[in-house]
Amino acid sequence: MSTITESFITAGTLIAEADGKLLSIVGLSLQVSLTAVFLAACLGLPIGAAVAVGRFPGRKPLTVILNGMMGLPPVVIGLLVYLLLSRAGPLGPLGLLFTPTAMVLAQVVLITPIIAALSRQIVADAWRDYEEQLRSLGASTPRAALTLLVDTRFSLSTAVLAGLGRAVAEVGAVMIVGGNIDGVTRVMTTSIALETSKGDLPLALALGFILISIVLILNALAHALREWAARRHG
Amino acid sequence: MAEPLITLESLRYAAGERTLIHDVSLRLEAGRRTLVLGPNGAGKSVLMRLMHGLIEPTAGRIVWNGGGARPPQAMVFQRPVMLRRSVLDNVSYALYLAGVPAAERRARAEAVLERVGLSPLAHRPARVLSGGEQQRVALARAWALRPRVLFLDEPTASLDPGASAEVERLIRVIADDGCSIVMVTHHLGQARRLADDIVFVDAGRITEHTPIADFFAAPRSEQAGHYLRGELSWT
């Protein structure tokens, strides 16, 4: 019991003092995951819209596959990207293994399907309402897809946020391709796993608090944005 | 003989096993206001979507202007679809899709909003407007395209009497601007006020195409007679 209490106090002190080591870990975590989310959104949003609006063979199986890929285990993604980047792998000569770039790549693979699947659902729902009007106005299918992405932008923020939540919280993929190297590829989740196994509970706990706070704050912001948008734009 | 607008030649439309439109032939003249009447499920909306090109006929063909190009046209739906942007931008968007150069769009959109009396709302987000205001924006958006024919699918069905009257007034103004009107309605009073001609549709077939006065005095088809007696007993 006292260990837990002490851990809480020490964790509070670390956060309050803005401990350097803590800050660098949090900073790298955010840098990796935000970059990954940005890239995954650039890929996932158009893919989702195309699958929602497009009329091409194999659209239904693709929808099922996208939905299924939302639940991919991060360690397996990590393993696949590891094989891709390892010295003998096809991208081995780039020397990316155990760098933040490798972690970004793994997270992009992990969350692109999440953003694509969620945005497909959102855009498909809007398409049901808009289709006749947009076709009547003469919109081509790519044009209609783009219009729907713009028009559902506030709902799509939820899809992007789901991707970010998944990225900052996962351990498996970044652990395998990043290697959890101190000061280079150590992020919040891998540190928590490591410090807990070493017995340094205060640092693990402090990181845990920060991780949970970040996720909560992001969700609160997205919620506020949607509320504001609903009042402002209908 | 008046100039032909659209000619339907043995038009058929089937969705799966069900045939919704049975070998319909029809000739509408330019500059007229044609109202399409008929019971629910008769195929009125399907017929209009075929004419507008939103769906492809299973058989038969559509001839515009006695064999010319498809004229500029627009359609207004029962529930207006407003994009999540300003009223002005909703109109400009339609002009953009119609290929109007960027330099002209804004002025044209502003002019049409002025003519329908929506200038004060031009910069408001379109989706927070009332149903009646949204339907007027939809009419303005359609009119901005300078259509030769405007299709309307029960445009007042979800509006209150005041908003309906305003929409009817705008339809008349657009018709007077030289635009042919093809409109589906369930409202006989509205048909009486707006129509030059009535097309009566029943079970996927056109049973008659009659000038308005003749239609209400003595409908030629048995189905229209039943429909009128049934409707009038309620009014």
Kindly state the greatest CA–CA separation across chain A: 70
B231 or A168, which is more confident: A168
**Looking at the predicted structure, is the pLDDT value of residue A1 above 80?**
no
* Tokens 């043995």, located at residue: B10
Q: Do B127 and A153 touch (CB under 8 A)?
A: no
How far is it, in rounded angstroms, from Cα B57 to Cα A152? 32
Query: Residue B122: what are its φ and ψ, rounded to 5°?
Result: -55, -35
Q: Map tokens 């398409």 to a residue.
A: A127
Which residues in chain B are closer than 8 Å to A230, comparing Cβ atoms?
none
How would residue B176 be classed by pLDDT, with cut points 50, 70 and 90? very high
Q: Which two tokens stand for residue B219?
A: 């409908």
Mode of pairing for the β-strands spanning B4-15 and B18-29: antiparallel
Task: Give A-chain residues touching B52 at CB under 8 angstroms.
Answer: 136
Residue B231 has pLDDT above 80, yes or no: no
Does B38 score more than 70 pLDDT? yes
Tell me whether B127 touches chain A (CB under 8 Å): yes
To the nearest 10°, the Cα dihedral for A131, B93, B126, B150?
Answer: -70
Mean pLDDT computed over A159-178: 94
Q: Are A168 and A214 in contact (CB under 8 A)?
A: yes
Cross-chain CB nearest to B125 (options A135, A150, A234): A234
Q: Is B212:B192 a contact under the CB 8 Å cutoff?
A: yes
Q: What pLDDT sits at residue B229? A: 87
pLDDT digits (tens, 9 = 90+) for B16-33: 899 999 999 999 999 999
Interface A:B, Cβ pairs < 8 A? 47
Whether A113 and A51 have beta carbons less than 8 Å apart is answered as: no
Chain B residues inside the 8 Å CB shell of A151? 83-85
Please answer yes or no on whether A136 and B127 come within 8 Å at the CB atom: no
Residue B48 to chain A, least CA–CA distance (Å): 12
Residues written for chain A: 234
Distance CA A174, CA A114 (A): 17
Which residues of A are less than 8 Å from B48 in CB distance?
none
Would you place residue B195 in the very low, low, confident or very high pLDDT band (cuts 50, 70, 90)? very high
Q: How many CA atoms lie within 13 A of B103 on its CB side?
A: 0
DSSP A105-159: HHHHHHHHHHHHHHHHHHHHHHHHHHHHHHHHTT--HHHHHHHHHHHTHHHHHHH
Strand partners of residue B19: B14
Contact A234 B75 (CB under 8 A): no
Domains of chain A: 2-229 (1.10.3720.10)
Residue B234's SS3 state is coil
Task: Find, among A169, A156, A158, the residue nearest to A214 by Cα.
Answer: A169
Which of A135, A138, A151 is the closest to B84 by Cβ? A151
Give A39 to chain B, closest Cα distance, Å: 26
Task: Kindly state whether B128 is in contact with chain A, defined as any CB-CB distance less than 8 angstroms.
Answer: yes
The tokens describing B19, both together, are 């045939």
The answer to whether the CB atoms of A143 and B97 lie below 8 A apart is yes
pLDDT at A11: 82
Summarised one tens digit per residue, pLDDT across range B119-149 is 999 999 999 999 999 999 999 999 999 999 9
- How far CA A31 is from CA of A27, A38, A96, A121, B188, in Å, comes to 6, 11, 17, 28, 65
Distance from CA of A136 to the nearest CA of B (A): 7
A94-112 mean pLDDT: 96
Q: What is the pLDDT of residue A9?
A: 87
Which residue among A136, A151, A234 sits closest to B54, beta carbon to beta carbon? A136
What φ, ψ does residue B150 adopt, rounded to 5°? -120, 125
Query: CA B147, CA B174: separation in Å to the nearest integer?
Result: 9
Q: Regarding the domain delimited by B4-81+148-232, which CATH topology (the fold level of the hierarchy) does it fall under?
A: Rossmann fold (3.40.50)
Flag whether pLDDT at B235 surpasses 70.
no
| Minimum-distance CB partner of B97 among A137, A152, A233 | A137
Residue type at position B62 = I
Chain B residues with beta carbon closer than 8 angstroms to that of A152: 84
Interval A51-77 mean pLDDT? 93
Do the beta carbons of residue A75 and residue A176 sit within 8 Å? yes
**Bridge partners (DSSP) listed for residue B208:** B200
CA distance A116 to A159: 8
B97–A139 C-beta distance less than 8 A: yes
Q: What is the distance in angstroms between the Cα of B93 and the nearest Cα belonging to chain A?
A: 9
Are A133 and B74 an interchain contact pair (Cβ–Cβ within 8 Å)?
A: no
CB A89 within 8 A of CB A83: yes
Best of B48, B49, B52, B81 to mutate (most A CBs within 10 Å, chain A): B81
* DSSP tally for chain B: helices H, then strands E: 8, 9
Which residue is closest to A143 within chain B, CA to CA?
B97
pTM of the model: 0.90
CB–CB of B37/B201 below 8 Å? yes
Q: How near does any CA of chain B get to the CA of A223, in Å?
A: 18
Mark yes or no for CB contact A143/B81 under 8 Å.
Answer: no
Q: pLDDT tens digits, residue range B77-125? A: 999 999 999 999 999 999 999 999 999 999 999 999 999 999 999 999 9
Rounded CA-CA distance A193/A59 in Å is 40
The whole-number pLDDT of residue B94 equals: 98
A204: its two tokens: 């693990």
Phi, psi for A212 (deg, rounded to 5): -65, -40
* A129 and B CB contact within 8 Å: yes
Report pLDDT for B1.
Answer: 52
Q: Name the residue with tokens 């939103």.
A: B54
In this complex, the residue of B81, B84, B98 whose CB is nearest that of residue A133 is B81
pLDDT of A206: 87
At residue A92, the 3 state secondary structure works out as helix
Q: How far is A212 from chain B (nearest CA, A)?
A: 33
Which residue in B has a C-alpha nearest to residue A230's C-alpha? Answer: B128
